[in-house]
């Protein structure tokens, strides 16, 4: 009996810890981040229309941010390509060819 109760208590307190994080993302976060972001690679720059993409994703931040908004972990070539290209491919909209993103 006592063991069962303790387990229950552990589950309840665990969900209490998890709850605020879920709630935080159920509503639109206070910090929407920059309107546009410039990704620099050597002499080339990609202008990423962050705000426009938020609308394209219907404000589902987690299309790109994993549970938490803000910096994306391990940001770089591999992470970016995995995030950016498949969605353009699927929607048949947005750049998928190297030159369309890496131009200037
Ligand atoms: C289409 C993809 C995408 C969507 C959707 C998106 N973001 Fe972002 N966001 C990014 C990328 C990419 C960065 C830059 C990540 C980095 O530099 O680590 C970024 C950066 C940010 C930053 C700045 C982080 C920093 O400290 O520089 C904030 C804050 C942020 N996003 C909030 C949001 C919120 C809130 C939403 C939902 C309303 C959202 N984003 C939706 C892709 C997206
Ligand atoms: C959730 C799906 C989705 C993700 C993820 C996404 N895009 Fe897009 N992107 C789109 C769509 C849809 C368009 C076409 C918009 C239009 O035609 O108006 C687009 C258009 C673009 C364009 C064309 C110019 C513009 O702003 O319309 C660029 C450049 C671009 N995306 C860069 C990126 C980069 C860089 C990333 C990764 C950081 C990214 N996108 C991630 C859906 C996405
Ligand atoms: C949807 C836009 C998009 C497309 C299409 C794309 N890339 Fe990228 N690429 C990016 C982004 C965003 C970064 C990450 C920039 C950063 O580190 O902030 C990146 C990073 C890179 C880097 C690393 C550069 C550096 O200095 O770190 C190389 C190399 C690269 N891409 C080559 C390619 C090649 C080759 C293709 C075609 C097979 C391609 N990319 C297609 C958006 C794109």
C-alpha 85/C-alpha 81 separation (Å) is: 6
* Residue whose token pair is 């935080």: 24
Query: Could you tell me if residue 89 is inside a domain?
Result: yes
What pLDDT is stored for residue 22 in this prediction? 46
Examine residue 20 and state whether it is found in any structural domain, yes or no: no
Structurally, how many domains does the chain consist of?
1
Give 26 or 10, the one with higher predicted confidence: 26
In which band, very low, low, confident or very high, does the pLDDT at 14 lie, cut at 50, 70 and 90? very low
Give the Cα separation of 48 and 75 in Å (integer). Answer: 14
| CA proximity to 81, closest of 97, 66, 93 | 97
Residue 51 included in any domain: yes
User: Which of 45, 61, 86, 94 to mutate to test ligand 2, by most ligand atoms within 8 A of the CB atom?
Assistant: 94
Q: What is the pTM of this model?
A: 0.86
Q: How far is the CA of 20 from the centre of ligand 1 (A)?
A: 20
47 pLDDT band (50/70/90 cuts)? very high
Q: Which structural domain range is residue 93 located in?
A: 30-101
Could you tell me if 72 and 80 are in contact, meaning their C-beta atoms sit under 8 angstroms apart? no
Find tokens 């890496």 and name the residue: 102
**CATH number for the domain harbouring residue 62:** 3.90.10.10
- Pocket lining: 84 vs ligand 1, CB cutoff 6 Å: no
């Amino acid at each position: 009996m006592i063991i069962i109760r303790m387990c229950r208590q552990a589950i309840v307190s665990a969900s209490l810890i998890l709850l605020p994080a879920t709630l935080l993302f159920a509503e639109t976060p206070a910090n929407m981040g920059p309107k546009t972001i410039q990704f620099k690679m050597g002499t080339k720059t990609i202008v990423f229309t962050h705000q426009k993409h938020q609308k394209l994703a219907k404000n589902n931040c987690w299309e790109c941010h994993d549970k938490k908004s803000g910096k994306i972990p391990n940001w770089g070539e591999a992470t970016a390509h995995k995030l950016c290209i498949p969605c353009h491919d699927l929607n048949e909209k947005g750049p998928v060819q190297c030159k369309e993103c890496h131009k200037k």
